[in-house]
Amino acid sequence: MNTGSISRRGLLGAFAATMIVAAPASGKPFGFLKGAGDIRRIRMFSGRTGESIDMVYWVEGEYIKEAMAEISRFMRDVRNNQVIGIDPRTIDIAAASHRLMEASAPYNMLSGYRSKETNDAMRRVSRGVAANSLHIQGQAADLRLDGRSVSQIYRAAAACNAGGVGKYSRSNFVHMDCGPLRTWGS
């Protein structure tokens, strides 16, 4: 076997979906978002589908295409099974927030991508759903985390200073997106 043609990055990329490794330690959220470490990892499960994801999606300054495709499939609109490419910046914010909380439990993803049809249906029954939600563009996620309060998750996500963070205490979740920097909720 000719191992001279296999790079370290290639090997890491090939096994990223199944690797269990700790992300590099950093006390600063900006350091993590700016690539201070060699890897980025996301852990989530979906109560709607029973699916889980635990994978490295970024290695040595580059997103792993296959990992991002799997994340996009996981975060699909489960109401109609539509998939759209999830913006990696949203995953970065969620992963950085998770690290800031030093959490080991995976996120419980309530909503990732939503088709316009699904979003419109949700708007008809809830006033908290935006007409032009970033969920429609694959740029948002609604998350819970066992062992952490909505306030703790909200503070960690807001500390990243990297997008929109909404606090939905009554519904027990935090919205994270890679849109303009803003916060809201109670």
| pLDDT at res. 37 | 57
Within-domain flag for 69 = yes
- Do 148 and 101 form a contact (C-beta atoms < 8 A)? yes
CATH number at residue 147: 3.30.1380.10
Within-domain flag for 2 = no
- Do 176 and 109 form a contact (C-beta atoms < 8 A)? no
Within-domain flag for 114 = yes
For 10-32, the pLDDT digits (tens) are 434 444 433 333 333 333 444 44
Within-domain flag for 1 = no
Is this structure's pTM higher than 0.95?
Answer: no
Q: What is the domain extent for residue 96?
A: 8-185
| pLDDT at res. 131 | 82
Within-domain flag for 144 = yes
Q: How many domains does the chain have?
A: 1
Pairing between β-strand 62-63 and β-strand 164-168 as defined by DSSP bridges? unpaired
Within-domain flag for 126 = yes
Give the residue from 91, 146, 164, 51 showing the smallest Cα distance to 154: 164
Give the rounded percent of residues in the chain with a pLDDT score beyond 70. Answer: 80
| pLDDT at res. 10 | 45
In 3-state terms, what secondary structure has residue 12? helix
Which residue stretches of the chain have pLDDT < 70?
1-37
